[in-house]
Amino acid sequence: MSCVNREQLKKDLLLYAVTDRSWLGEETLYEQVEKALKGGATFIQLREKELDEEHFLEEAIALKELCHKYHVPFVINDNVKIGVHVGQSDMEADDVRKILGEDKILGVSAQTVEQAVLAEKMGADYLGVGAVFSTSTKKDASAISKERVKAICEAVHIPVIAIGGITADNILTLKGSGTRLLTSGE
Protein backbone atom coordinates (compact mmCIF):
# COMPACT_ATOMS: atom_id res chain seq x y z
CA MET A 1 0.00 0.00 0.00
CA SER A 2 1.18 3.50 -0.75
CA CYS A 3 1.83 6.23 1.78
CA VAL A 4 1.36 8.98 -0.83
CA ASN A 5 -1.01 11.72 0.40
CA ARG A 6 -4.06 11.03 -1.78
CA GLU A 7 -5.81 14.32 -0.97
CA GLN A 8 -2.75 16.26 -2.10
CA LEU A 9 -2.40 13.98 -5.12
CA LYS A 10 -5.98 14.83 -6.21
CA LYS A 11 -4.99 18.52 -6.21
CA ASP A 12 -1.71 17.80 -8.01
CA LEU A 13 -3.47 15.84 -10.76
CA LEU A 14 -5.73 18.69 -11.83
CA LEU A 15 -3.94 19.27 -15.15
CA TYR A 16 -1.72 16.33 -16.06
CA ALA A 17 0.62 16.97 -18.99
CA VAL A 18 2.34 14.17 -20.91
CA THR A 19 5.40 14.99 -23.01
CA ASP A 20 5.48 14.30 -26.72
CA ARG A 21 8.55 15.09 -28.78
CA SER A 22 6.47 15.53 -31.95
CA TRP A 23 5.10 18.85 -30.60
CA LEU A 24 8.46 20.52 -30.10
CA GLY A 25 8.93 22.39 -33.36
CA GLU A 26 11.95 24.64 -32.81
CA GLU A 27 11.76 24.42 -29.00
CA THR A 28 13.42 22.01 -26.62
CA LEU A 29 11.43 19.63 -24.47
CA TYR A 30 12.55 21.64 -21.44
CA GLU A 31 11.10 24.83 -22.96
CA GLN A 32 7.81 23.10 -23.79
CA VAL A 33 7.46 21.64 -20.30
CA GLU A 34 8.26 25.01 -18.72
CA LYS A 35 5.53 26.59 -20.88
CA ALA A 36 3.11 23.91 -19.68
CA LEU A 37 4.07 24.60 -16.07
CA LYS A 38 3.67 28.36 -16.52
CA GLY A 39 0.33 27.68 -18.21
CA GLY A 40 -1.00 25.77 -15.20
CA ALA A 41 0.09 22.14 -15.56
CA THR A 42 0.01 20.58 -12.10
CA PHE A 43 1.62 17.22 -12.92
CA ILE A 44 4.17 16.20 -15.58
CA GLN A 45 4.79 12.77 -17.11
CA LEU A 46 7.89 12.21 -19.23
CA ARG A 47 6.87 9.84 -22.02
CA GLU A 48 9.65 9.56 -24.57
CA LYS A 49 9.75 6.15 -26.22
CA GLU A 50 12.22 7.05 -28.99
CA LEU A 51 15.19 8.37 -26.97
CA ASP A 52 18.25 6.29 -26.19
CA GLU A 53 18.90 5.71 -22.48
CA GLU A 54 21.64 8.37 -22.16
CA HIS A 55 19.54 11.18 -23.65
CA PHE A 56 16.43 9.99 -21.81
CA LEU A 57 18.29 10.19 -18.51
CA GLU A 58 19.54 13.71 -19.33
CA GLU A 59 15.98 14.85 -20.12
CA ALA A 60 14.62 13.16 -17.01
CA ILE A 61 17.13 14.83 -14.68
CA ALA A 62 16.56 18.28 -16.17
CA LEU A 63 12.76 17.96 -16.13
CA LYS A 64 12.72 16.57 -12.59
CA GLU A 65 14.66 19.65 -11.42
CA LEU A 66 12.34 21.95 -13.40
CA CYS A 67 9.23 20.35 -11.90
CA HIS A 68 10.77 20.60 -8.43
CA LYS A 69 11.31 24.33 -9.03
CA TYR A 70 7.58 24.70 -9.79
CA HIS A 71 6.56 22.34 -6.93
CA VAL A 72 4.88 20.00 -9.42
CA PRO A 73 5.04 16.19 -9.19
CA PHE A 74 6.98 14.44 -11.96
CA VAL A 75 6.74 10.81 -13.09
CA ILE A 76 8.37 8.90 -15.87
CA ASN A 77 6.58 6.52 -18.18
CA ASP A 78 7.83 2.97 -17.57
CA ASN A 79 10.83 3.90 -15.37
CA VAL A 80 10.61 2.62 -11.82
CA LYS A 81 13.59 4.55 -10.42
CA ILE A 82 11.97 8.02 -10.13
CA GLY A 83 8.21 7.72 -9.91
CA VAL A 84 6.32 5.93 -12.56
CA HIS A 85 3.27 5.45 -14.72
CA VAL A 86 2.95 1.94 -16.18
CA GLY A 87 0.67 0.51 -18.81
CA GLN A 88 -1.16 -2.81 -18.86
CA SER A 89 1.63 -4.48 -20.84
CA ASP A 90 4.33 -3.34 -18.40
CA MET A 91 5.12 -4.73 -14.93
CA GLU A 92 2.26 -5.53 -12.54
CA ALA A 93 1.50 -2.66 -10.16
CA ASP A 94 2.32 -4.64 -7.01
CA ASP A 95 5.75 -5.60 -8.41
CA VAL A 96 6.39 -1.96 -9.32
CA ARG A 97 5.32 -0.85 -5.83
CA LYS A 98 7.82 -3.28 -4.26
CA ILE A 99 10.65 -1.74 -6.29
CA LEU A 100 9.45 1.85 -6.07
CA GLY A 101 8.68 1.91 -2.36
CA GLU A 102 5.73 3.41 -0.56
CA ASP A 103 6.74 7.08 -0.85
CA LYS A 104 6.79 7.37 -4.67
CA ILE A 105 3.80 8.00 -6.92
CA LEU A 106 2.57 5.04 -8.96
CA GLY A 107 0.12 5.57 -11.81
CA VAL A 108 -1.36 2.75 -13.86
CA SER A 109 -3.19 2.80 -17.18
CA ALA A 110 -6.57 1.06 -17.28
CA GLN A 111 -9.19 0.51 -19.94
CA THR A 112 -11.65 -1.69 -17.99
CA VAL A 113 -13.26 -1.76 -14.55
CA GLU A 114 -11.43 -5.02 -13.80
CA GLN A 115 -8.04 -3.52 -14.64
CA ALA A 116 -8.81 -0.42 -12.57
CA VAL A 117 -9.91 -2.36 -9.48
CA LEU A 118 -6.87 -4.64 -9.70
CA ALA A 119 -4.47 -1.69 -10.12
CA GLU A 120 -5.93 0.01 -7.03
CA LYS A 121 -5.68 -3.23 -5.05
CA MET A 122 -2.04 -3.63 -6.12
CA GLY A 123 -1.01 -0.18 -4.87
CA ALA A 124 -1.69 2.33 -7.66
CA ASP A 125 -2.07 5.92 -6.46
CA TYR A 126 -4.01 7.03 -9.55
CA LEU A 127 -5.31 5.68 -12.85
CA GLY A 128 -4.88 6.95 -16.38
CA VAL A 129 -8.05 5.85 -18.17
CA GLY A 130 -8.47 5.91 -21.89
CA ALA A 131 -7.89 6.74 -24.55
CA VAL A 132 -11.10 8.75 -24.22
CA PHE A 133 -10.67 10.15 -27.75
CA SER A 134 -8.59 9.00 -30.67
CA THR A 135 -5.05 10.26 -30.44
CA SER A 136 -2.18 10.62 -32.87
CA THR A 137 0.42 10.07 -30.15
CA LYS A 138 -0.55 6.47 -29.43
CA LYS A 139 -1.63 4.84 -32.66
CA ASP A 140 -2.66 1.50 -31.08
CA ALA A 141 -5.06 3.09 -28.56
CA SER A 142 -8.75 2.76 -29.25
CA ALA A 143 -11.19 5.15 -27.61
CA ILE A 144 -13.32 3.94 -24.69
CA SER A 145 -16.82 5.20 -23.97
CA LYS A 146 -17.79 7.87 -21.48
CA GLU A 147 -19.96 5.22 -19.81
CA ARG A 148 -16.96 2.95 -19.25
CA VAL A 149 -14.96 5.85 -17.85
CA LYS A 150 -17.82 6.59 -15.46
CA ALA A 151 -18.02 2.93 -14.40
CA ILE A 152 -14.29 2.90 -13.66
CA CYS A 153 -14.60 6.10 -11.60
CA GLU A 154 -17.41 4.55 -9.58
CA ALA A 155 -15.47 1.32 -8.98
CA VAL A 156 -12.31 2.80 -7.42
CA HIS A 157 -11.39 5.20 -4.64
CA ILE A 158 -8.22 6.63 -6.18
CA PRO A 159 -8.03 9.57 -8.60
CA VAL A 160 -8.93 8.81 -12.22
CA ILE A 161 -7.43 10.84 -15.03
CA ALA A 162 -8.96 10.79 -18.49
CA ILE A 163 -6.18 10.40 -21.07
CA GLY A 164 -5.89 10.48 -24.82
CA GLY A 165 -6.77 13.05 -27.43
CA ILE A 166 -8.22 15.66 -25.07
CA THR A 167 -8.42 19.12 -26.59
CA ALA A 168 -10.19 22.40 -25.87
CA ASP A 169 -12.80 21.35 -28.45
CA ASN A 170 -13.78 18.05 -26.81
CA ILE A 171 -13.02 18.41 -23.11
CA LEU A 172 -16.58 19.37 -22.13
CA THR A 173 -17.97 16.10 -23.50
CA LEU A 174 -16.33 14.40 -20.50
CA LYS A 175 -18.49 16.39 -18.07
CA GLY A 176 -20.41 13.97 -15.86
CA SER A 177 -18.05 11.06 -16.50
CA GLY A 178 -16.71 11.10 -12.95
CA THR A 179 -13.25 12.29 -13.92
CA ARG A 180 -12.47 15.67 -12.54
CA LEU A 181 -8.85 15.26 -13.47
CA LEU A 182 -7.73 15.56 -17.07
CA THR A 183 -4.59 15.31 -19.13
CA SER A 184 -3.45 17.93 -21.54
CA GLY A 185 -4.50 17.30 -25.12
CA GLU A 186 -2.57 16.91 -28.33
**Catalytic residue positions?**
47, 109, 138
Instruction: Check if the beta carbon of residue 126 is closer than 8 Å to that of residue 164.
Output: no
Residues 6+ apart with CB under 8 A from 89: none
Cα 2 vs. chain centroid, distance in angstroms?
A: 17
- Distances, alpha carbon 131 to alpha carbons 83, 153, 161, in Å: 22, 15, 10
Cα separation, 158 vs 5, whole angstroms? 11
